Amino acid sequence: MSTLDFATAPQAQLSPSRMIGVVLIMSVAAVSLLGPLILPGDPLAQSLTKALAGPEVGAPLGYDHLGRSVFHRLADALRLSPVIALAAVMMACAAGLILGTLTATKGGWIDKGLVMLADALLALPGLLLILIVLAMVPGTVVGFWAGLSLVLWVEFFRLTRAATRETLASPAVQASRLLGFGPVYIFRVDIWPEIAPMMLTAAAFGTATAIMAIAALGFVHVGMRAPTPELGLMMVELLPYWREAPLALLSPVIATFALLLGLTLLAGSRET
């Protein structure tokens, strides 16, 4: 063929800190997904005789105050909040992306209205919004999903809108238009590559925020209800027994920290 054989780009490499982030997330995911398969067990089964007992083959992380296997409860908890968080982030990302691109291209009263709504939501503490939605929506899981989506879409919306507006005003887009490229091409080639890395960063931060919020509300007894295994709830339940069963308390603490650290590292710096 011709010189256009050169038209392929090398893929960008992940930075070392992002690699560590990915590894941390993968290992937490491995524990939660593969753990129960390798070692089946019931996270809700109580046996009071084993309350606060140390690790054994059937329960590698010991037992909690009601004699439930901490390992199996942890594996369950590590599926619950990340799944809610991911679903909320996906919803928020889709809404933010669509509304952000729409307002940046169309402008007018839709733009003004949505920006005002986003600003008003920013002025309210996210946890408060989540609490109110939780109280409105039947079902804690759906409530968390709806509330978190409501809180998180603002960030995606603002980022998309700002980046799209800036890109649309750039010479690159003007040149593409003069050459006759349509809006789909311009979005795919000029706009999307600019916002995609921001979306990844915002999604990782958003997931971390969501997991933190679920755990924080669980910790102060206003989130998930017992006996559902949830990270914050597990910690507050085990807190009084930390002398007798330090491992039982430390496991959810360490798992939460590893997960959130992984997400923070994956997000990288805001500048990218």
Partner 1 sequence: MSLLKAEDITVRDGPATLLEPLSLRLEPGEPLVILGETGSGKSLMAQAIMGTLPPGLEAKGQVGVGKHMLNAAAPQRFRGLWGREIGVLPQEPWLSLDPLMQARSQIAEAHRLVRGLDRPNATTRAEADLAALGLAGAANKYPHELSGGMAQRVAIAAARAGGARIVIADEPTKGLDAARRDDVARLLLSEMGQIGGLLIITHDLALARMVGGRMIVLRSGKIVEQGTTNQIFAAPQHPYTKELLAADPENWTPRQRAGSGQTVVSTSGLAVERAGQHLFSKITLDIHAGEVLGVTGPSGCGKSSLGDALLGLLKPAAGTITRGSEKHAFAFQKLYQDPVAAFPRKRTLGRTIYDTLTLSGGRPNEVDALLARLGLDPRLLARRPDAVSGGELQRVSLLRVLLRNPSFIVADEPTSRLDPITQAQVISLLTEIAAQDDVAVMLVSHDAALIRNTSDEVLDLGPHGVPDTFENATDVRVGT
Partner 2 sequence: MVAVLIGTATFVMMRSLPGDAAWRIAAGRYGYDNVDAAAADAVRAELGLDGPALPALLQWLGDLARFDFGNSLVTGQPIVDEIAHQLGASASLALVAVLLSLLIGPPLGILAGLRPGGLLDRVLLVVSTGIKAIPQFLLALVLIVVLAVQLRWLPAAGHGEARHFILPSLTLALGLAAVNARIARDAMARIADMPFWRFAKWKGLSERQTLMRHGLRNVSVPLITYLGLQFVTLVEGVIIMESIFGWPGIGHALVHAIFSRDVPMVQGTALVLGLGFVMVNALIDVAVRRLDPRVAA
Applying CB under 8 A, which residues contact partner 2?
Answer: 120, 122-128, 131-133, 135-136, 138, 208, 212, 215-216, 219-220, 222, 232, 235, 239, 242, 253, 256-257, 260-261, 263-265
Q: Which of residues 1-40 bind partner 1 (CB under 8 A)?
A: 1-4, 6-9
Of positions 27, 46, 105, 170, contacts partner 1 by CB under 8 A: 170
Task: Residue 52: name the closest of 228, 220, 237, 219 by CA.
Answer: 237
Q: Which does 222 bind (CB under 5 to 8 A by kind): partner 1, partner 2, none?
A: partner 2
How near is the Cβ of 169 to partner 1 at its closest, in Å?
11
**Binding letters toward partner 1, positions 122-161, x by CB under 8 A:** ----------------------------------------
CA angle 61, 63, 67 (to 5 degrees): 160
| Core vs surface per residue 42-63: b (16+ CB within 10 A) or e | ebeebeeebbbbeeeeebbbbb
Task: Residue 141: name the closest of 75, 33, 203, 214 by CA.
Answer: 214
Q: Is 15 helix (H, G, I), strand (E, B) or coil?
A: coil
Q: What is the dihedral of CA 177, 175, 167, 202, to 10 degrees?
A: 90
Q: Which does 253 bind (CB under 5 to 8 A by kind): partner 2, partner 1, none?
A: partner 2
Q: Which does 193 bind (CB under 5 to 8 A by kind): partner 2, partner 1, none?
A: partner 1
How near is the Cβ of 115 to partner 1 at its closest, in Å?
21
Cβ contact 32:75 at 8 Å:
yes
Of positions 19, 94, 135, 175, contacts partner 1 by CB under 8 A: 175
Q: Which does 104 bind (CB under 5 to 8 A by kind): partner 1, partner 2, none?
A: none
How near is the Cβ of 233 to partner 2 at its closest, in Å?
11
Q: How far apart are CA 121 and CA 168, in angstroms?
A: 26
Residue 11: phi and psi, rounded to 5, are: -75, 140
Calculate the alpha carbon distances from 201 to 2, 59, 81, 268, 269 in Å.
38, 36, 19, 7, 8
How near is the Cβ of 5 to partner 1 at its closest, in Å?
8
Q: Which of residues 181-200 bind partner 1 (CB under 8 A)?
A: 181, 185, 189-190, 193-194
Q: How far apart are CA 117 and CA 26, in angstroms?
A: 37
How near is the Cβ of 100 to partner 2 at its closest, in Å?
19
**Can you give the binding site for partner 1, defined by CB under 8 A?**
1-4, 6-9, 170-172, 174-176, 178-181, 185, 189-190, 193-194
